[in-house]
Amino acid sequence: MLSLAFPAIDPIAISIGPIAIRWYALAYIAGLLLGWKYVVYYCTKTPNIMSKRDVDDLLFWATLGVILGGRLGYILFYNLDYYLDNPANILKVWQGGMAFHGGFMGVIVAIILFARKRNISILAVLDAAAVATPIGLFFGRIANFINGELYGRTTDVAWGFVFPNGGPEPRHPSQLYEAALEGLILFVVLFILSRKAFVRHRPGILGGTFVAGYGISRIIVEFFRQPDAQLGYLAGGITMGQVLSIPMVLAGIGCIIYALKSKPIETRIHPKEAENA
């Protein structure tokens, strides 16, 4: 079968003595920092939502949510038996083991706590976080590809790769599929929507679009992605990723419907925005 040569990129980006900085860690850092900058930009276009100081503090809360939620989600959803037998390995995050759905729930909890503490609309904070999240997803999936992990199922398509740890057969580069769907395409969709005053002044539309959009993207990609070895396929041939993504689609649609039925928030609408409202 035809296949592409897997790029020989060292997962360790920088090595200084015993200190090794991996591309995966840099992907997290790049996603958080660029996302933070983009949220600041978004908030300048949507007055009376969050100040720059609020955005700075939200970055800290969101980072904790991603790390703690992502790790806990992986343990509970994907490898509970292993960590029950090896509890000392729970804190060894440098060995891998993060789940997006867990990180998502962690960020949702962080957003709720942050918004209540600052007396800000929870849905407005969700919108701000949503427009930037695809940036982190894009870099994260590229890092997964570099690591040769979370690869796809075997295939005979011309763009299949023989992954170092995936056996001799070509496989779908499902990490790149996710980078495109969850990262690039979802970012563009949210960017276009965020430019409409009608959308920005109805908290929940952007957040709901992201949640549903990610869920749909993940369900699609799971048809090409190799299930985790310790789980395999669930009843009916579906995967854990699909099971966890279905509630996201439903919740996202519900959030959009709620936002459309709600009264627009009071903001200073500029003349040019009023034309698009």
Could you write out the DSSP letters of every residue in 53-83? HHHHHHHHHHHHHHHHHHHHHHHHHH-HHHH
Q: What's the average model confidence in pLDDT over 232-240? A: 89
- Top-confidence residue, 126 or 92: 126
Query: How does the average pLDDT of the chain come out, rounded?
Result: 88
- Model pTM score: 0.87
- Top-confidence residue, 38 or 264: 38
141 appears as a binding residue in the annotation: yes
Q: What's the average model confidence in pLDDT over 3-23? A: 85
Q: What's the average model confidence in pLDDT over 228-250? A: 90
CA-closest candidate to residue 132, choices 46, 61, 41: 41
Q: What is the pLDDT at residue 230?
A: 79
Residues near 164 by beta carbon (within 8 Å), at least 6 away in sequence: 6, 148
Q: What's the average model confidence in pLDDT over 88-96? A: 74
Q: What's the average model confidence in pLDDT over 189-218? A: 95
Q: What's the average model confidence in pLDDT over 181-188? A: 97
At 96, list the tokens: 């891998």
